[in-house]
Amino acid sequence: MVVSILLQLIGLFCFSLSMDKHIKAIFGKTKALNRFRYIKSFAWILLLASGGLVGTYPYVLSISIVVWLAALSMNIVLIAIFYHIKAVKRETVTRLSLDKKQLT
């Protein structure tokens, strides 16, 4: 069960890295965009593997599917929080550097 949830988290993170705005949020530039295009297929493989592991959960299949979907939404929220924290840190650093330039 833990392996399936970790595969979900890594797969969703790979999906987010295949989007332009998320790469820009992490790296601050768009020059690295072309390097991350192949990651989308890797993300699909991870999510399918995670879904395939649903049968190994110690619950009935219907409950296992609900647990998998709940973990999926939890992982989406975790990735959103991660990107929010990165954006706030980048904005704070940018604001501080602009304040230093104005002082000189």
Domain ranges of the chain: 2-103
Which segments of the chain does DSSP mark as H helices, in order? 2-17, 20-27, 39-52, 61-103
Paired tokens of 87: 């954006």
Which segments of 18-60 does DSSP mark as H helices, in order? 20-27, 39-52
8 A C-beta contact, residue 82 and residue 18? no
pTM of the model: 0.76
The better pLDDT of the pair 4, 26 is held by 4
64-80 pLDDT per residue, tens: 999 999 999 999 999 99
* pLDDT exceeds 70 at position 35: no
Paired tokens of 103: 């002082």
Work out the pLDDT band at 24, boundaries 50, 70, 90. confident
Mean pLDDT, residues 46-56: 91
d(CA 47, CA 10): 9
Paired tokens of 47: 């999510």
